[in-house]
Amino acid sequence: MMKMQWLILCSLGAVGAALAAAETSQRRAVNSSPSLAALKPFRFQNYAPGTITPTGWLRDQMQLLADGLGGNLFDFYRFVNESSWLGGAYEYSTLNEASPYWFNGIVPLAWGLNDARLKAQAKQYLDYVLDHQQADGWLGPETTPQTRGLWARALLFFGLTQYAEADPTETERIVNAMHRFVVLANTMLKDNYRGLINNATLGDVYDPYEFGTARAQELPVSLMWLYDNYPRNNSELILDTISLMFAGSRKANLDWTTFFVDGVFPTGAAPNPAPGFMHGVNMAEGMRYPAVLYRLTGNESLVTQTADAVSLITTYQSALSGTIIADEFVGGLDPQRGSELCIAVEVMFSYAYLYRFFGANDYADHAERAAFNALPVALAPDWWSRQYLTQTNQPWIQRLSSDPFYDDNTYSLTYALEPNYPCCTVNHPQGYPKFVASSYVKDGSDGIAHMLLSPTSLTTTVGGKSISITCNTNYPFSEVLEYTIVAKTAFSFSVRVPGWVAGAATAQVTTAASQGRKTVSTVTMTPDAITGLHLFTVAAGITTISVTLPMANDVVMREATSEAGVSAPSVGIYHGPLVYALSLDYEETTHLPLNFSTDNETPLAAFDVVPKCRDHFLLPTSNWSYAVDPSTITFQSLENASDALTNPIWSNNAPPVAITVDGYPIIWPNASGTAAVPPAVNASAVDASDKTKLKLIPFAAAKLHISQFPIYNASATDA
Ligand SMILES: *[C@@H]1O[C@H](CO)[C@@H](O)[C@H](O)[C@H]1NC(C)=O
Ligand SMILES: *[C@@H]1O[C@H](CO)[C@@H](O)[C@H](O)[C@H]1NC(C)=O
Ligand SMILES: *[C@@H]1O[C@H](CO)[C@@H](O)[C@H](O)[C@H]1NC(C)=O
Ligand SMILES: *[C@@H]1O[C@H](CO)[C@@H](O)[C@H](O)[C@H]1NC(C)=O
Ligand SMILES: *[C@@H]1O[C@H](CO)[C@@H](O)[C@H](O)[C@H]1NC(C)=O
Ligand SMILES: *[C@@H]1O[C@H](CO)[C@@H](O)[C@H](O)[C@H]1NC(C)=O
Ligand SMILES: *[C@@H]1O[C@H](CO)[C@@H](O)[C@H](O)[C@H]1NC(C)=O
Ligand SMILES: *[C@@H]1O[C@H](CO)[C@@H](O)[C@H](O)[C@H]1NC(C)=O
Ligand SMILES: *[C@@H]1O[C@H](CO)[C@@H](O)[C@H](O)[C@H]1NC(C)=O
Ligand SMILES: *[C@@H]1O[C@H](CO)[C@@H](O)[C@H](O)[C@H]1NC(C)=O
């Protein structure tokens, strides 16, 4: 296949000319041209930002994001407000990526909430950037080959493609700019991969640590969007540019297909120094590399390799919360090590992309797990500060007395404006808005599927007839999703049944046919073995569907090895998609935001912050060193599942669900300035009369938490 692709690329001149003559409108016949390969299609198609809006608890969280840091960065944060992209002087690195990261998140946030203030911010940025496109087609502030890296353009293009879908009045302008840029990018790449592979000999400074090179598949994602939708007479050049990006990654030894291989992929923590493959954010994005390459080449082994990549990552490098454990470089399954917030939003996007492309149920489960655990735990309840790193066991948040991380500072756990590194300040806003935007997908010409479950509503058309779907639910805090569908035409509606569902999912369907007769039926759902989708055939009129997804307690064993080399079993506890944690009471102190450039040792100049911005230390006031007896786990739903949830929901005591378990105080030592890995429990040293009922709550609500516990088996001891 690969060889064929190259042959196709080499014989395109004549085809390109023919296409030029035929150029009329978008989504043209290019893919049916006999000589020009179509890209492998997505299994499901996405909706434009704004088509799907959050409701319930998810709307509350998106609004907190809009009212918090994410929605205010444009007004005050130097790396956005005074970004070099807007004529300012501030960047946190030579990647010049800060404001493009922000743009990628602000577009779906603005349209997801239909928020005029945020749309105006996005528009101001769009206008500035497009109006300043350089004569040779370059987008961005850089004017020399040594400073012109392609990487930040990949982030800009994510924002631009979403914008073009959200606001059709800007589509042509955006597509024009992208086409002009591709021509230049193609020339650069043909010059020994200029812009992709930083060459110090030539004085290049745009990517000294090969972040852009390791993420070579990112720009192709948007170039493929251009090729699929608005190829104009540039199809050949777009495909060639995509191929050059992949070829460059191979030349730089950053071809992910050589890494997601059993025996090559690391089964534990990264060595120091480590290759770029072992960088957490690179890996969170790189897991899409085989899929994006598959779109281009059609090499079927890349389908299997995508599944292998997901399996290797989740087996060897994952946190209980659904993200990757990596404080710059991967830390295996070590609960002392940190997971960077950027990784949480990148894995959410990657898993959603992979489900939309392949439709493998497992991928969507992983996207939800990160969305309900890893992302929200790292944000303060009011979304005005964020962590850089989150630990699985995190009994205090302050400047640590020693450093358990690979290459991050001792301030990294702090909820702050820019703890350790500013990237997550500008990148975290994409998380929920893109999750919402991809929660429903088009399934063929007359189908709609609910892919990522949460409270949202969708207004669209099928065959020109309007359809609205509202999903009223407290999921993942509840098992019940109530759909109200108002349809002017019959259509196919599918709901994804997660892989963790315990027993049979059921649905009660009520239809009010046009004559006003109501019919009610109860069905046992029969999800497709691959996609997990259960199909409902919905008639025109009003239909309500009440879906119940039974959740069960799920105890996951994890071996933890101490610094002294002693291995002991430990457990993580799930109920449905949520992981549960012992939440510690804490005393909170705040101070002025500290400057990441001084390793967070000195305060930022006052003009660079707003009063809402504070850095927070959280010190525990309750005990955290317990072993648990997993056989005593009991789930409790504390309220009527249909009651409105507390806002903010991701805070101590807010979620309406809990798990109780017998806990026994143990000696749990410190190591590297934090809680040591869960120790082996000396049963004879445990006083059974100290038994206490521990209440565990959803991990993301427990800012100080223990979620991987040592085990004390009371029945073994009694026997
Ligand atoms: C940056 O912030 C200042 C002060 O809030 C504001 O006057 C200015 O318009 C902002 N710049 C941009 C590009 O929004
Ligand atoms: C960097 O540029 C120099 C000078 O043109 C060239 O000799 C060398 O091969 C380039 N290095 C790489 C890795 O491409
Ligand atoms: C097609 O290509 C020709 C020649 O390269 C160019 O002049 C023309 O503007 C292109 N048309 C479009 C719609 O891009
Ligand atoms: C197909 O992809 C696999 C990696 O998944 C690679 O090993 C193989 O060489 C590729 N085949 C071709 C023909 O490129
Ligand atoms: C942050 O610290 C650096 C290094 O000392 C300094 O150059 C910079 O001006 C500081 N930035 C702000 C906004 O205070
Ligand atoms: C913590 O545990 C110690 C020893 O078991 C006990 O004396 C103390 O009261 C506990 N503190 C809290 C806040 O529960
Ligand atoms: C939950 O609340 C709804 C509305 O208030 C009520 O109709 C329903 O009976 C309640 N269910 C339970 C189990 O209490
Ligand atoms: C462990 O570290 C914490 C935070 O620095 C400290 O408060 C506590 O006293 C330490 N515990 C032990 C047993 O050293
Ligand atoms: C286990 O605890 C008992 C009672 O405190 C003690 O005698 C014994 O030495 C401990 N064993 C280990 C291996 O620490
Ligand atoms: C606890 O001990 C009992 C009795 O020895 C045993 O049957 C059970 O499997 C143990 N449970 C765990 C979780 O190890």
* pLDDT higher than threshold 70 for residue 600: yes
pLDDT value at position 451? 98
Q: To which H or E segment does residue 376 belong? A: helix 375-377
Could you tell me where the DSSP H helices lie in 23-115?
A: 56-67, 69-76, 78-81, 98-112
For the Cβ of 682 lying below 6 angstroms from any atom of ligand 9, the answer is: yes
CATH 2.60.40 in the chain, residue ranges: 440-473+480-548
DSSP, collapsed to helix, strand or coil, labels residue 663 as: strand
Identify the pLDDT of residue 716: 80
Would you state the pLDDT for residue 4?
A: 32
Residue 234 has pLDDT above 60, yes or no: yes
Inform me whether the pLDDT recorded for 526 exceeds 80.
yes
pLDDT tier for residue 198 given thresholds of 50, 70 and 90: very high
Q: Which residues pair with 83 in a beta bridge?
A: 90
Q: Whose CA is nearest to atom 9 of ligand 8?
A: 670
For residue 368, how many C-alpha atoms fall within 13 Å in the half-sphere facing its CB?
25
Kindly state the helix (H) or strand (E) to which residue 112 belongs, with its residue range: helix 98-112
- Kindly give the distance from the C-alpha atom of residue 683 to the centroid of ligand 9, in angstroms, as a whole number: 8
> So what's the pLDDT on residue 589?
98
| pLDDT for 223 beyond 90 | yes
Question: Could you report the per-residue pLDDT of 379-400, keeping only the tens digit for each?
Answer: 999 999 999 999 999 999 999 9
> Do the Cβ atoms of 236 and 9 come closer than 8 Å?
yes
- pLDDT score recorded for residue 506: 98
Distance (Å) of CA 308 to CA 178, 225, 258, 279, 281: 34, 26, 12, 18, 18
Asked which of 13-17, 566-570, 665-669 is least confident by mean pLDDT, the reply is 13-17
Residue 715 CB less than 6 A away from ligand 10: yes
Using CA atoms, how far residue 286 sits from 160, 278, 291, 329, in Å, is 21, 10, 10, 14
Q: Whose CA is nearest to atom 11 of ligand 1?
A: 81
The answer, yes or no, to whether the previous bond of 577 is cis (omega within 30 of 0) is no
Split at pLDDT 50, 70, 90, the class of 36 is low
Residue whose tokens read 């879906």 = 547
Q: How confident is the model at residue 15 (pLDDT cuts 50, 70, 90)?
A: very low
pTM of the model: 0.93
How far apart are alpha carbons 403 and 633 in whole angstroms? Answer: 34
Answer whether 484 contacts ligand 1 (Cβ < 6 A): no
Q: Considering only CA atoms, which residue is closest to atom 13 of ligand 1?
A: 81
Model pLDDT, residue 605:
87
Q: Do 92 and 388 touch, CB atoms closer than 8 A?
A: no
The alpha carbon torsion through 706, 377, 47, 151 (nearest 10 deg) reads -110
Ligand lying closest to the C-alpha of residue 480: 7
The reply to whether ligand 8 has any atom less than 6 angstroms from the CB of 396 is yes
Q: Which of 23-27, 409-413, 430-434 has the lowest mean pLDDT?
A: 23-27
Are 386 and 379 contacting, i.e. CB atoms less than 8 angstroms apart? yes
Shortest-distance atom of ligand 7 to CA 641: 1
Helix, strand, coil fractions of the chain, as percent rounded to 5: 35, 25, 40
481: Cα separation from own chain's centroid: 23
Ligand 9 touching residue 529 (CB < 6 A): no
Determine the distance from the C-alpha atom of residue 21 to the mean position of all C-alpha atoms in its chain, rounded to a whole number. Answer: 42
Whole-number Å distance, alpha carbon 341 to ligand 1 midpoint, is 27
440-473+480-548: CATH, from 2.40.50, 1.10.20, 2.60.40, 1.10.3470: 2.60.40
The residue to mutate among 664, 715, 717, having the most atoms of ligand 10 within 8 angstroms of its beta carbon, is: 715
Residues in contact with ligand 4 by the CB-under-6-Å rule are 1-2, 257, 299, 301-302, 305
**Nearest alpha-carbon partner for 462 in 434, 438, 440, 433:** 440
Residue 481 CB contacts under 8 Å (≥ 6 apart), including other chains:
453, 471, 472, 473, 475, 495, 546, 547, 549
**Per-residue model confidence as pLDDT tens digits over 70-119:** 999 999 999 999 999 999 999 999 999 999 999 999 999 999 999 999 99
Ligand 1 pocket test: pick from 75, 82, 84, 612 the residue with the most ligand atoms within 8 Å of its Cβ.
Answer: 75
Helix axes 2-10, 235-251, angle to 10 degrees: 130
Residue 505 pLDDT greater than 70, yes or no = yes
Give the phi and the psi of residue 566 in degrees, each rounded to 5: -90, 125
| 377 CA from centroid of ligand 6 (Å) | 26
Binned at pLDDT 50, 70 and 90, residue 718 comes out as low
32, pLDDT greater than 60: no
Instruction: Tell me the mean pLDDT in the region 341-369.
Output: 98
Q: How far apart are CA 191 and CA 467, in angstroms?
A: 50
- Cα 185 to middle of ligand 4, angstroms: 26
For residue 112, give the nearest of 49, 39, 28 by alpha carbon.
49
pLDDT of residue 609: 78
CB 712 within 8 A of CB 666: yes
pLDDT tier, 19 (very low <50, low <70, confident <90, very high otherwise): very low
What's the whole-number average pLDDT of the chain? 93
pLDDT of residue 243: 98
What is the Cα gyration radius of the chain? 25
Task: Indicate which ligand has the atom closest to the C-alpha of 569.
Answer: 10
Nearest to 318 by CA among 259, 265, 276, 361: 265
Residue 702 alpha carbon to ligand 6 centre in Å: 20
- C-alpha to C-alpha distance for 83 and 426, rounded to whole angstroms: 12
Residue 28 has pLDDT above 50, yes or no: no
* Beta carbons of 662 and 711 less than 8 angstroms apart: no
The closest-lying atom of ligand 3 relative to the alpha carbon of residue 23 is 13
Q: Are 177 and 133 in contact (CB under 8 A)?
A: yes
Quick one: 221 exposed, middle or buried, by C-beta within 10 A (0-12, 13-18, 19+)?
Answer: buried
Q: 516 pLDDT band (50/70/90 cuts)?
A: low
Does residue 514 register a pLDDT over 60?
no
Rounded to an integer, what distance in angstroms lies between the CA atom of residue 547 and that of residue 530? Answer: 20
* Nearest ligand, measured from the Cα of 82: 1
pLDDT digits (tens, 9 = 90+) for 637-692: 987 666 889 999 999 999 999 999 999 999 999 999 999 999 999 999 999 999 99
How many other CB atoms are found less than 10 A from the CB of residue 253?
A: 14
* Res. 302: pLDDT tops 50: yes
| Low-confidence winner among 230-234, 282-286, 491-495, 604-608 (lowest mean pLDDT) | 604-608
Pocket flag, ligand 3, residue 23 (CB < 6 Å):
yes
Sheet holding 440-443, edge to edge: 440-443, 447-450, 491-496, 533-538
Render pLDDT for 118-147 as a digit per residue (tens, 0 to 9): 999 999 999 999 999 999 999 999 999 999
CA distances from 233 to 20, 176, 329 (A): 5, 12, 43
Q: Tell me the ligand closest to 4's alpha carbon.
A: 4
Distance CA 43, CA 32 (A): 18
